[in-house]
Structure 1
Amino acid sequence: MAYLLLLLCLFVAACGGHSPAAPTAPVPTSTPPPRQVVIVSVDGLRPDALVQSGAPNIQSLAARGAYTWQARTIMPSNTLPSHVSMLTAYLPQAHGITWDDYLPARGRLTVPTLFTAVRAAGMRSAMVVGKSKFDYFKDTGAVDFYAVAQGGDDDVAGQAAAQARAGFNLMFVHLPEVDLTGHASNWMSASYLERVTHADQAVGRLVSSLPAWTTVIVTADHGGGSRANNHGSDDACDMTIPWVVTGPRTLRGYQLSTPVSTTDTAATAAWLLGVSLPPDVTGQPVTEAFGAGR
């Protein structure tokens, strides 16, 4: 009998009688969040107005990210040529838009833009603006959603927040009223500073609608006040702009030491999104804001 039991045990072992191994549970994988960048341009915003008005939302973004109050725009320091430089990384001598209104008969936007690079990478982009002169960007066909909001900063921020919920990789948001008030009441007037406070509130509402992984750049196209109710010169009042970037990869409360130009805005956004601008652009990514070169 003992011999038979031994044979039975050997037979079971030979036929794989060991208990089967427990199935291995699949290793959970996390999908990285999409790359998202929002550029907010507060038209005509002087950096010293942020200090005088308080601007708690923009100041909070600076405290959570990297910033400079000494960034520089281009000449001529006007809305359209400056924004073309901001969103292409080219100087006006290269992009050719030196006038300040939508005049397609005078010339088109022919250089590649940040939106062109985003489209080429299979990503989506949106623009919500407060002035129709930005139609130059719509005409390129590279922007997936384009809207000119007619109701001022609140309307712009509301439409932009809706687009944020719809999904995007790049969004450009233009708040027009600070500049309009500067032209009407002069830069640094009580009305101007009140409008800066209102724009800051619009920025706060927009940012609160964004996913936590979004990187936000807040800047301006120009300052103003070198001449009564105007801008456009090479005076420091007109040329100096704020530049703030905050997101999951930025340093916190870090004041930038390297000079920043408005052309660096497009280059930084492209770097964050992993898309390529042409090699001859002037702008460079502000990698210091993310700890590079420290």
Structure 2
Amino acid sequence: MNERRAAAWPPHSRFAVALTLALSLAGCNRFIGSPSHNTPVILISIDTLRSDHLPAYGYRGVATPNIDALRADSILYERAYSHVPLTLPSHVSILTGMLPADHGVRDNVGFRLADSVPTLQESLKKNGYATGAAVSAFVLRRETGIAKGFDFFDDNVEPMSGQSVNGQTVISRVQRDGAETLQAGQRWLDGQVGRPFFFFLHLYEPHTPYTPPEPYFSRYPNHYDGEIAFADAIVGSLIDDLKRRGVYDKSLIVLLSDHGEGLNDHGEEEHGIFLYREALQVPLIVKLPKSRKAGETVDTPVELVDVFPTILERTGTPVPKAGRRIGQSLLNFLNKGPIRPIYAESYYPRFHFGWSDLHSLIEGKDHYIRAPQAELYDLAADPAEKKN
């Protein structure tokens, strides 16, 4: 508003507008609660999990009672999208609130997060939080730079020497059982009584090779679903533990995935190359303290870089000045919110095969993929993206 226009408003009118805005904000906080730097924060990442393979999103091929129970206490985002279908760069986007071009990590190998890029855990630590993480995959080891800002970072997924094949040692372990990862995190949680904490738990189920333990291996002929069932059991163990500690009700819990899985929908068994919906659309479930807005569903498209400002907002933590961020608080979308273009990329085909890198934009119902032969899909009429 310019000075001339402001002068035309009577003082009592300007006061009325200010009062209306203040009451609006107060009403918003009444429904979602006020920010608090004492709120425990738990971020659960279930690697390689397509949202359309969860009952919470309408799937009937697997039972996930623990994620279902968490969803009942939470807000579910129906259309949440990753920015890159690879573990390391996607998690860096989650923990920095930045797109890959801005944080600089474009692939699982050959990149390291720069010390100058602020992270979520560094910001929370400055706000008095204890910060701990336990990860399940070698690709998220501390040497990637992702550990900076964590007081505790358990990445005990050291490669174990296997057989020698053609004179080269084959690495036989690049991941660990998620239950083992949770146990490492729980030992750290034991020391956080009475103080605010941020705990990041990363599970590598249902990533390949799809070898869930019994009874899930026998129960589910589709072993990808079997791994999802096992991941659900681990989530249940964590939730039960938080309840025993008396912190579940007051916690902010975010459950998500870094990317999806091809499952041959478009000829890709796993992930990393293509940017179709099955690789980018992920679950995103947000439980507020006291389960405020429990059971709500948001159908406006959101993106993984929105997680960063959401957690900072709800904990009263200042947003770092360094770095370019485009994300918004996920709570802004409870009343629809703006439709934004959501960007994704994959340089994996270029770096590993010398093919073209791929880029995509999702805006509302439209999904444009920039490739050697451009593709455009109507996600409302053609959610499987079969008709270009």
Using the size of structure 1 for normalisation, the TM-score is 0.79
The CA distance in 2 between the partners of 1:120 and 1:291, in whole Å, is 32
Residue type at the aligned position of 1:193: D
Partner of 1:35: 39
In structure 2, C-alpha distance between the alignment counterparts of 1:240 and 1:65, rounded to whole Å: 19
Q: Call closer, same or farther: CA 1:33–1:265 in 2, change over 3 Å.
A: closer
Match of 2:108 in 1: 100
1:76-87 superposed matches below 5 A? 76-87=84-95
Residue 113 of structure 1 aligns with which residue?
A: 119
- What letter is aligned with 2:279? D
Percent identity between the aligned chains?
25
Q: Structure 2 CA distance, aligned partners of 1:85 and 1:227?
A: 27
- What does 1:44-63 correspond to in 2, within 5 Å? 44-51=48-55, 52-63=61-72
* Number of the residue aligned with 1:267: 309
Question: What does residue 256 of structure 2 align with?
Answer: 219
1:229 paired with 2:235, answer no
User: Is the counterpart of residue 205 in structure 1 residue 249 in structure 2?
Assistant: no
Report if aligned partners of 1:36, 1:215 keep a CA contact under 8 Å in 2. Answer: yes
- The CA distance in 2 between the partners of 1:259 and 1:88, in whole Å, is 20
Deviations 1:6-59 (A, max 9, x none): xxxxxxxxxxxxxxxxxxxxxxxxxx9931110000000011211231211111
Match of 1:171 in 2: 199
Match of 1:245 among 286, 289, 296: 286
| 2:78 corresponds to 1:69 | yes
Per the TM alignment, residue 165 of structure 1 is displaced from its structure 2 partner at its CA by 3.0
Count of aligned pairs: 256
What amino acid does structure 1 have at the position aligned with 2:70? Answer: L
Larger CA Rg, structure 1 vs 2? 1
Gaps of 5+ in 1: 1-31
1:29 equivalent in structure 2: none
- Flag the 1:215–1:235 CA change in 2: closer, same or farther, 3 A: same
- Distance in structure 1 (CA, Å) of the matches to 2:110 and 2:179: 23
Q: Is contact 1:78-1:221 (8 Å) kept?
A: yes
Query: What is the Cα deviation at residue 162 of structure 1?
Result: 2.8
> C-alpha displacement at 1:206, in angstroms?
0.5
C-alpha spacing 1:45/1:139, structure 2 compared with 1 (3 Å): closer
Q: How big is the shift at 1:258? A: 2.9
Contact 1:268 1:285 in 2 (8 A): yes
* Offset from partner CA, 1:143-176 (integer Å, 9 cap, x none): 1010014441111122223333322521111001
Q: CA deviation at 1:215?
A: 1.5
- Does the aligned pair in 1 maintain the 2:135–2:155 contact within 8 Å? yes
Residue aligned with 1:172, SS:
strand
Note the 1:115-130 alignment, pairs <5 A. 115-130=121-136
Deviation at 1:277, TM superposition (A): 2.2
Name the counterpart of 2:327.
283
Task: Give the SS at the match of 2:227.
Answer: helix
Distance 2:90 2:320 in 1: 19
Deviation at 1:253, TM superposition (A): 0.6
Counterpart of 2:173 in structure 1 is: none
Render the CA deviation track for 1:225-265: whole Å, top value 9, x for unaligned: 14433212210010000000113253111101332211111
Residue 160 of structure 1, aligned match among 181, 185, 206: 185
CA RMSD of aligned residues (A): 2.7
- Return the offset for 1:278: 2.9
Deviations 1:104-155 (A, max 9, x none): 4xx6353101011012223211111012332134553x11010014441111
Amino acid in the other structure paired with 2:241: S
Gap runs ≥5 in structure 2: 1-35, 56-60, 158-175, 213-219, 338-388
User: Structure 1: how far apart are the matches of 2:79 and 2:146?
Assistant: 31
Bigger RCO (CA 8 Å, 6+ sep): 1
Q: Aligned partner of 2:41: which letter?
A: V
Distance across 2 between alignment mates of 1:64 and 1:55: 15
Could you tell me the TM-score, scaled by structure 2's length? 0.60
